[in-house]
Amino acid sequence: MIVIENPKKARNKAEIFKELYFANMISCADLSEKIDKSLPHTTMLLNELIEKGFVVETGYAPSTGGRRPQMYSLKPDIMYVVSAAMDQFVTRIAIMDMRNNQVTEIEKVDLKLNENPNALSELADRLEQHIQNSGINKQEIAGIGIGMPGFVDASKGINYSFLETDNSISEYISDKTGLPVYIDNDSRLIALAEQRFGLARNRQNAMIINIGWGIGLGLVMEGKLFKGNNGFAGEFSHIPLFTNNKLCSCGKTGCLETESSLFIIVEKAREGIANGRLSSIKTHKLDSELVDEAFEAIRSAAVKGDKFSVELFSEAGYNIGRGLAILIHLLNPETIVLSGRGSLAGKIWLAPIQQALNEQCIPILAKNTTIEMSELGYDAELIGSAALVMENLEKV
C-alpha cells in the first residue's frame, strides 16, 4: 500500500493507480486527461511511482504518424484485492493482483443464503481464513469486494434480501477482517467487469445479462453504469411475462425468472427424466442436493449435443429473448452481452434468443443490436468485485 504524508497527493496517486488498473496500459498524456491534472504534475507523480517500484514502463503505443508515446502499467504484485462472488447457493473467493490474475486458487464455499441466519458470519469467517491461508500481508491488500444477489444498497452496505444484520454488511465484515469492504449487486458488478474489461468496453449503450439462478441485468447508458434512483435498476428477472401462476422468489407470479432461470432448467430436467425422457445427463449429478452440480450435468450434456438438454436451454433462451425484446424497444442498446454462470453453456443461447427477437422486435430497432457471449464468462463477477474495490481506491 502507498503511504504518503500529503493527503491531496495521496488522492492524486490513488487516481493514477485506479486509471492504470482499468486501462492496463496508458500514456502519461492520456493519464493526465483522465485524472484532470496538468501534464507536468502527472509526470512528476508518475515518476515518483516509478521510483518506488509501483509503476513500470511497458513500451510504446502503436505509431499514428508522430512520435510514439511511452506507455505505463501498474506492477501486478504491488497490491492485491480480495474478491468474492456470491449467488444463492455458492460463494467463490479469490485474491487478485493488479492485472486481475488470481494469485490464490478460487475457493468454492457451499453457502446457502435463503433462510440462513448464520450466512453473514460464515462469509466473514471464510474471507478471513482465505486471507490467512494466502500468506499475503493485509497491508498489501486494498480491500474486499463482494458481489451478491438481492436488493443491494451499495452506499449503505445493506442487502435487503439476504445477509441480515443490525448494521451494514460492509461494516460487519470490515470489523472481522480489518480491511475496507465494498458490496454491490452481482449483476451490476458483472456489468462493471464487462464495461471495464469485457465486450461492453468503449460501448455507450449496452445491456449485460447475468444468466444465473435468476436473470439479472446491468445497464450501461451513455457510457456509464445506470443504477436507478435507489440503486435497484436492472431487476430483469421480475418482468411479469407469463400467466403461469408460478410463484417467483420475489413473491409475485409469472415473472421471467419462473420460466428461464438456471434453477428452472434444473427443475425441468429432473421432471423430464422422472417422466421418462431419454437423455445422456448424468442422473447421479442431476439428483445432487447441490443445484450447481445438477446444472453442470445438464450443461455438459447440452454442449455434447444431448437433445433433451438442448431443448431445455432453447426454451429458456427463447423466453429470455422475449424479455430482451421489451428492453430493446425501450432502450435501443448497441450490444447485449450474455454473461454470468449461464454463459458457460456458450453459443447454445444465441439461436433461441435471436428467434425470439426476430418474432417480437420491430426490425429497425433490433437490426443494429448485436448479441455476444461474454469473454469473461463465469469469472465476470469475481473481476467485477475486484474492480469495485479499485473504483473506491481514493477512500482507502
Q: Where are the alpha helices (DSSP H) in 54-206?
A: 119-134, 169-177, 186-197
Neighbouring C-beta atoms of residue 363, cutoff 10 Å = 8
Taking the CA atoms of 372, 376, 378 and 381 in sequence, report the sign of the dihedral they define.
negative
Among the listed residues 154, 159, 207, the one whose alpha carbon sits nearest the alpha carbon of residue 328: 207
Q: Which residue has the cell 436451454?
A: 313
Same domain flag for 139 and 242 = no
Work out the average pLDDT over 90-118.
95
Q: How many domains does the chain have?
A: 3
Q: Quick one: 92 and 163 in the same domain?
A: yes
Q: What is the pLDDT of residue 64?
A: 62
pLDDT digits (tens, 9 = 90+) for 4-49: 457 787 888 889 999 999 998 999 999 999 989 999 999 999 999 9
Q: Is the dihedral of CA 70, 98, 9, 389 positive or negative?
A: positive
Ramachandran region of residue 136, left (φ > 0), alpha (ψ -120 to 50) or beta?
beta
The answer, yes or no, to whether residue 105 has pLDDT greater than 50, is: yes
Distance CA 36, CA 55 (A): 19
Task: Give residue 60's domain range.
Answer: 7-77
Residue 213 within a domain: yes
Separation of alpha carbons 195 and 361, rounded Å: 25
Residues 356 and 343 in one domain: yes
| Residue 370 belongs to some domain of the structure | yes
Per-residue pLDDT, averaged over 251-280, amounts to: 93
In a domain, 50, yes or no: yes
What's the pLDDT at 108?
Answer: 95
* Domain of residue 32, CATH code: 1.10.10.10
**Higher-pLDDT residue of 98, 66:** 98
Amino acid 315 reads: E
Residues 107 and 229 in one domain: no
Classify residue 246 as exposed, middle or buried by CB count within 10 Å of its CB (0-12, 13-18, 19+): middle
**Whether residue 367 sits in one domain with residue 222:** yes
Asked if residue 41 is part of any domain, the answer here is: yes
Q: What percent of the chain has pLDDT over 90?
A: 78
* Domain end marker among 53, 77, 101: 77
The amino acid present at 213, given as its one-letter code, is: W
Name the amino acid, one letter, at 267: E
Residues 230 and 315 in one domain: yes
Q: Are residues 149 and 270 in the same domain?
A: no
Q: 192 or 58: which carries more pLDDT confidence?
A: 192
Q: Give the list of residues 6+ apart from residue 102 with CB closer than 8 angstroms, or none.
A: 94, 95, 96, 382
Average pLDDT, the chain: 92
Residue-level pLDDT at 396: 66
C-alpha cell at 303: 454442449
Query: Domain check: are 350 and 214 in the same one?
Result: yes
For residue 148, the tally of other CB atoms under 10 A from its CB is 26
Phi first, then psi, for residue 251 (nearest 5°) are 100, -10
Residues 213 and 281 in one domain: yes
Tell me, yes or no, if the pTM score tops 0.95: no
97 shares its domain with 164: yes
The residue type at 84: A
Read off the pLDDT of residues 174-188 as tens digits, 9 standing for 90 and up: 999 999 999 999 999
Q: Give percent of the chain with pLDDT exceeding 70.
A: 97
CA separation (Å) from 213 to 76, 90, 121, 381? Answer: 34, 11, 23, 14
Q: Residue 312: inside a domain, yes or no?
A: yes
* Position 2 confidence tier, pLDDT thresholds 50, 70, 90: very low
The answer to whether residue 394 scores a pLDDT higher than 90 is no
Half-sphere exposure in the Cβ direction for 107 (13 Å, CA): 20
Nearest residue to 358 (alpha-carbon basis) of 304, 313, 317, 302:
317
The CATH number for 238's domain is: 3.30.420.40
Q: What is the DSSP letter of 232?
A: -
In a domain, 195, yes or no: no
Q: Is the pLDDT of residue 3 over 60?
A: no
Separation CA 394–CA 320 (nearest Å): 39
| pLDDT at residue 65 tops 70 | no
Residue 242: strand, helix, or coil: coil
200 vs 376: CA distance, rounded Å: 11
- Looking at the structure, tell me whether residues 221 and 165 fall in a common domain: no
Kindly state whether residue 101 falls inside one of the protein's structural domains.
yes
Residue 78 reports pLDDT greater than 80 = yes
The reply to whether 267 and 341 lie within a common domain is yes
- Per-residue pLDDT, 174: 96
State phi, psi for 262 to the nearest 5 degrees: -65, -30
Residues with Cβ within 8 Å of 311's Cβ and at least 6 positions away in sequence, in order, are none
- 196 domain residue, yes or no: no
Question: Which of the pair, 1 or 77, is modelled with greater confidence?
Answer: 77
pLDDT score recorded for residue 13:
85
Euclidean distance between CA atoms 91 and 264, whole angstroms:
20
The pLDDT score that the predictor gives to residue 103 is: 96
**Where among 77, 99, 118 does a domain terminate?**
77
Last residue of a domain, one of 55, 77, 99: 77
Count of helix runs (H) and strand runs (E) in the chain: 14, 15
